[in-house]
Amino acid sequence: MSARYDFETLKTDVAEGRIDTVLAVQVDMQGRLMGKRFHAQYFIDSAWHETHSCNYLLATDIEMETVPGYKATSWEAGYGDYTMKPDLSTLRRIPWLEGTAMVICDVLDHHTHEEVPHSPRAILKKQVKRLEAMGLKAYMATELEFFLFDQTYDDARESGYRDLRLCSGYNEDYHIFQTSKEEDVMRAIRNGLYGAGITVENSKGEASAGQEEINVKYDEAVVTADQHSIVKNGAKEIAWARGKAITFLAKWSNAAAGSSSHIHQSLWSLDGKPMFYDPNGRYGMSKMMEHYVAGLLAHAEEVTYFLAPYINSYKRFVAGTFAPTKAIWSKDNRTAGYRLCGEGLKSIRIECRVGGSDLNPYLALAALLAAGIDGIEKQMPLEDPFTGDAYKAGEIREVPKTLRAATDALNKSELLRSAFGNGVVDHYVRAAEWEQEEYDRKITDWEVARGFERA
């Protein structure tokens, strides 16, 4: 990774004319970066302490429309301010934007200066603190898939998002010659992210025409979520600058594979010992790991909304497409929702394959940690691993098939209401209900004819 970029280095870069703009950003409910562009001198003189944003930023839908029904904010309450508190440990240069640095902000109540409980970053930090009280820390990684199009965002919008031109014409999974044709974009993404202080492992072609994957080294949970959000934003900006477009839709076309965000998870002691590893345990798994995985399975239905937050997300769960339909665990088996990786090694971990590329990383990681912690605290026993083709396994524990089903499970979840708070769960239940209401109002005959039937 490139050298850490700190506040003193920023001051030097501003004084010597290398940086003139600082992006102060927060993460919204959809996982997007929202915020302001500061003149760099003003940022280092004043705004590094705090700035402000409208509190509707944690109460909009994916089209940035204000949504009725939230207790946290509304037209009746006047849509007041949140305080954005820069976390200077996240400060970094953004090489693909000229003269620009970025910092991620925590979102605070304007009056109390306490973290807003339904802020995605606050939700994840709360679960991290629970682990710290147990003497543990989570290391996690999020693989991220997307489709690359050989046209601009404007062209795609003006066409009504029909007849889009992919950057390639055939399956390019691990295909070096095909990905060489896209290297102008993918090399810029890898190098740009590396220059922003993110340890990029690799990129590769994925399982459909035009599908790419970018992988970033595992890190502590909050760092991983921060980097995930920056990767998505950066990839889109870099593609845009080259006249290309990217989508992180979980299922952009019924004729193509879905795009996932597989989440790898392991727990470590605060002094760096791998707590999931036991050379004498089953497959090298410690009892703690078994309990954690059992918690993931026990609460798989409840956490699905945070892994698949939109109507479109559920179009991805199709047998034979490497997207799971069963919430079961298995050894190194890509047909299962949860896959054991690194059997017998200190790097042993569990991979959740349920999440799509449209997830909010903070919410997804927080929900998985809450489920795993519950398994540890209750010492849940782990069932035997599934073997064979999980798509043909019959009606064993299934991933919810619709947003409605996932929302209902979230709403009834005693686990998440305890871990996140009732107000937080109610906030995201409202977000899910609005997504469904908007879909029911706006679905078109064109979509129905192509399999996007009412869910």
Q: What is the pLDDT of residues 265-274, one digit of tens each?
A: 999 999 999 9
- Helices of type H across 325-388: 361-377
CA distance linking residue 242 with residue 74, whole number of Å: 39
CA distance 422 to 361: 21
Q: Looking at the predicted structure, is the pLDDT value of residue 379 above 50?
A: yes
Tell me the average pLDDT across 379-395: 91
Report the chain's terminal Cα–Cα distance, integer Å.
Answer: 43
- At residue 145, the pLDDT reads 97
* pLDDT in the model for residue 452: 54
What is the full DSSP assignment across 168-215? Answer: -SS--TT-HHHHHTTHHHHHHHHHHHHHTT--EEEEEE-SSTTEEEEE
Q: What is the residue whose two structure tokens read 């709403």?
A: 411
Q: Give the model's pLDDT for residue 448.
A: 60
What is the DSSP secondary structure assignment for residue 385, as one 8-state letter?
Answer: P
In the sheet that holds 211-216, the strands lie side by side as 200-205, 211-216, 144-149, 245-247
Residue type, 44: I
CA 359, distance to chain mean position in Å, is: 4
pLDDT at position 1? 38
As beta bridge partners, residue 331 has 340
| Residue 443 reports pLDDT greater than 70 | no
pLDDT range class, residue 322, cuts 50, 70, 90: confident
Average of pLDDT values for 46-61?
A: 95
- Which one has a higher pLDDT value, 395 or 57? 57
398 DSSP β-pair partners:
326
* 313: DSSP letter: G
Q: What angle do CA 165, 170, 172 make, to 5 degrees?
A: 110
Mean pLDDT of the chain: 94
Q: Is the pLDDT at 447 greater than 70, yes or no?
A: no
Instruction: Decide if pLDDT at 3 tops 80.
Output: no
Residue 157 has pLDDT above 90, yes or no: yes
Residue 446 pLDDT exceeds 60: no
Strand, helix or coil at 94?
A: coil
- Per-residue pLDDT at 438: 87
Range in 118-132, 214-228, 266-280, 428-442 the model is least confident about: 428-442
Range 303-327 average pLDDT = 94
Classify strands 263-269 and 349-352 as parallel, antiparallel or unpaired: antiparallel
Judge whether residue 280 has pLDDT over 60.
yes
Residue range 97-124, pLDDT digits in tens: 999 999 999 999 999 999 999 999 999 9
C-alpha to C-alpha distance for 32 and 14, rounded to whole angstroms: 27
Range 153-175 average pLDDT: 91
Give the β-pairing of 338-341 and 349-352. Answer: antiparallel
Indicate if the pLDDT at residue 455 is higher than 50.
no
pLDDT for 440 equals 84
> How many whole angstroms separate alpha carbon 347 and alpha carbon 382?
20
Tokens, residue 196: 């922003």
Of 74-83, 165-174, 237-246, which has the strongest mean pLDDT? 237-246
Q: What is the mean pLDDT of residues 304-310?
A: 98
pTM over 0.85: yes
Task: Please determine, for residue 73, whether its predicted confidence score (pLDDT) is greater than 60.
Answer: yes
Residue range 221-230: mean pLDDT, rounded: 98
Token readout for 446 is: 């064109």
Strands 338-341 and 329-331: parallel
Q: What pLDDT is attached to residue 331?
A: 93
For 402-427, b/e burial (b = at least 16 CB within 10 A) is bbebbbbbbbebebbbebbeeebbbb
- Asked if the model's pLDDT at residue 412 lies above 70, the reply is yes
Mean pLDDT of 138-164: 95
By DSSP bridging, strand 100-109 and strand 92-93 are: antiparallel
450 band by pLDDT with thresholds 50, 70 and 90: low
